Structure 1
Amino acid sequence: MSKVICIDGVVGSGKTTLAELLEKKLNLKLYNELANRDTEVLLDKFYRDRHRWAFTMQIHFLNERFRMIKEVHKNGGGLLDRSIFGDKIFASMLHEDGYMSREEFLTYSTLLDNMLEHTKPPMLMIYLKCSVEKAVENIQKRGRAYELIVPQVYWKRLNEKYTQWHRDYQVSPLLEIDVDQQDILLQQDAVLEIITHKIKNLEQ
């Protein structure tokens, strides 16, 4: 089994922070969600004009995540700080809010379903459970301009979507880390120990 580990959770939960720690701990390559310069450019455009850029942004993310998970399996392992398996969370919310038309959402959903038919599951999905307050605090600390203009109600709804996704997830083994209870940086040794123990059990 390829050692493919996905990390998912609401924006600001600490996915990349944890992925960078695991990259060193496990000696696995990190496939970073924001590695493509076009991604940040599109995010900035999207947050400033969601009606215009919602569909384009979702197709871009979907394409990138599909490319990355294929690459990580091809190379025998790696870390992903966002997963294709949670991609629909954003699209469904955008559709509900009127930023993606019915036709756009159906096109996106059909494409996602086709991709998932050819997508191998990860060895482990790590879900970062995070309160809205903690997520917003982290978002403000890192200071990305396009995130700072987003109202808190958006992050609250997004977190509700992630909570439901986490409850329904059955694609692979799942490990939940409550980052309100175990700060990734302040308690990194304990967090990494939980994860490495889980991986060892899966490898047996």
Structure 2
Amino acid sequence: MNSQNQIVLSLGSNIGNRLEAIELCISSIHNEIATVVKVSNVYETPAWGFQSEPFFNCAIVIHTTKSPQKILTQILKLEKQLGRVRGKQEGYQARTIDIDIISLNEDLVETENLQIPHNQMQNRMFVLLPMQDLSLNWIHPKFKKSISELIQACKDESECKLVKKLVSPIEKLKLQNFNYIAIEGNIGAGKTTLATKIAEDCNAKLVLERFADNPFLPKFYKDQNRYAFPLEMSFLADRYQQLTDDLAQFDLFKDFIVADYHIFKSLIFAKVTLHEDEFRLYKTMFDIIHKEMPKPDLYVYLYQNTERLLANIKKRGRNYEQEIPAEYLEKINRGYLDYIKTQTDLNVLVVDISDLDFIKKQNDYIYLLGEINNRLN
């Protein structure tokens, strides 16, 4: 998964129920466009650049892999859906909702229809004050100034009255009440992508399996009988070492831990790949190690049908995975589901994602977050 962009949007409304319009806009962006991870206070400010009713303004931070051009297209569409009517007359106008892209990471974007950072942000206190609430370590790429420095230099003397403190949709989920979440799934199910996105969006420490460094993996896919046992033993040792280290190291700046695997996957794969006598020896070693491993507060299994798994494997293009047979994936799926049935003392969430696309469809991702959050109850 590509690292997500951090985009700041400025929201404003001065027609009708302004607070309701702001809150509906935030909810719509979160559910349909991109994940809203931070929300500023709402301020009442006078209309800027024209005579009209005062505005309610706030700023939000969104995470997304979409391009700024794609975001612009989607927020213009959302403005129209929320009742904004753009008149033909020139200049500023009253509006039910206004959404502006203020910043994209610390990048400069200059196109015919898009300038980032917004070319007027440094002159508008109703943009700078809400952005300061977001507590971003952000420097303007052109002026080389922080938000606090831009505020000090701003000549806008408009009064900004605090109206209400809002909570972001991510904060409302309370995922930080978990200490450790393990996300599992078959090869190509999307567990690493989901774990990475949750970690970025919810301020979690991310633990990713180090499969790419295993020298036996490419050899195993070419000759399973010869390399299955050394592969599974090396995976077991590496998973034990990594989880022991990462789960023991508390991060003061993160709210919880999310991993894209659980140690028990070692036994599931070994049962499929090893001969009976090898598996007995392997299980003896596994049982010794497993006793020492902490259990996750939530174990999420992403189920995908074999057709989707094969398509995902082909799409991500790892050469050594391209010859994986369908029956192998089916055995792994059965192994996981059989394991889950036996875990009466483990908090397990099984989600069938065969018809979901949480990478491209924001509402599918929000659905998954909701399912995870429901386990808190």
Give TM-score, length-normalised by structure 2: 0.48
Contact 1:5 1:124 in 2 (8 A): yes
- How far apart are residue 183 of structure 1 and its match? 2.5
Question: Aligned partners of 1:133 and 1:167: how far apart in 2?
Answer: 24
Q: Cα 1:79–1:32, aligned 2, differ >3 Å: closer, same or farther?
A: same
* 2:264 counterpart SS class: helix
> Which amino acid is 1:42 matched to?
F
> Which amino acid is 2:196 matched to?
E
- How far apart are residue 184 of structure 1 and its match? 2.2
What are the equivalent positions in structure 2 for 1:74-89 lying under 5 Å apart? 74-76=248-250, 77-89=256-268
Contact 1:46 1:53 in 2 (8 A): yes
Q: Cα 1:87–1:170, aligned 2, differ >3 Å: closer, same or farther?
A: farther
Q: Cα 1:170–1:164, aligned 2, differ >3 Å: closer, same or farther?
A: same
Q: Which residue of 2 aligns with 1:38?
A: 213
Q: 1:51 aligns with which of 205, 216, 225?
A: 225
Question: Aligned partners of 2:212 and 2:354: how far apart in 1?
Answer: 31
Contact 1:182 1:191 in 2 (8 A): no
Q: Choose 23-32 or 117-126, whichever is displaced more.
A: 23-32
Contact 1:6 1:79 in 2 (8 A): yes
Find out whether 1:117 has 2:291 as its counterpart.
yes
* 1:183 counterpart SS class: coil
Contact 1:86 1:165 in 2 (8 A): no
Q: Which residue of 1 aligns with 2:64?
A: none
Q: 2:366 aligns with which of 171, 177, 189?
A: 189
Question: Aligned partners of 2:272 and 2:374: how far apart in 1?
Answer: 35
- How far apart are residue 15 of structure 1 and its match? 0.6
Larger radius of gyration: 2
> Which amino acid is 1:153 matched to?
E
Q: Cα 1:168–1:181, aligned 2, differ >3 Å: closer, same or farther?
A: farther
Contact 1:15 1:81 in 2 (8 A): yes
Of Structure 1 and Structure 2, the greater strand share is in 2
What are the equivalent positions in structure 2 for 1:85-100 lying under 5 Å apart? 85-95=264-274, 100=275
> Which amino acid is 1:190 matched to?
Y
Alpha-carbon displacement from aligned partner over 1:77-113 (angstroms, at most 9, x marks no partner): 4222111123211111123xxxx461x3222111100
- How far apart are residue 194 of structure 1 and its match? 2.5
Q: Choose 166-175 or 12-21, whichever is displaced more.
A: 166-175
> Which amino acid is 1:86 matched to?
K
> Which amino acid is 2:225 matched to?
H
Question: Aligned partners of 1:2 and 1:60: how far apart in 2?
Answer: 30
Question: Aligned partners of 1:105 and 1:38: how far apart in 2?
Answer: 23
Q: What is the number of equivalent residue pairs in this alignment?
A: 193
* 1:84 counterpart SS class: coil
* 1:192 counterpart SS class: helix
The RMSD of aligned alpha carbons is: 2.0
Q: Choose 113-122 or 152-161, whichever is displaced more.
A: 152-161
Question: Aligned partners of 1:180 and 1:52: how far apart in 2?
Answer: 33
Larger relative contact order (C-alpha < 8 A, sep ≥ 6)? 1
> Which amino acid is 1:189 matched to?
I
Of Structure 1 and Structure 2, the greater helix share is in 1
Q: Which residue of 2 aligns with 1:135?
A: 309
What are the equivalent positions in structure 2 for 1:52-71 lying under 5 Å apart? 52-71=226-245
- How far apart are residue 58 of structure 1 and its match? 0.4
Question: Aligned partners of 1:167 and 1:64: how far apart in 2?
Answer: 26
Find out whether 1:144 has 2:318 as its counterpart.
yes
Give TM-score, length-normalised by structure 1: 0.85
Q: Cα 1:63–1:193, aligned 2, differ >3 Å: closer, same or farther?
A: same
> Which amino acid is 2:295 matched to?
P
* 1:177 counterpart SS class: strand
Question: Aligned partners of 2:232 and 2:292: how far apart in 1?
Answer: 19
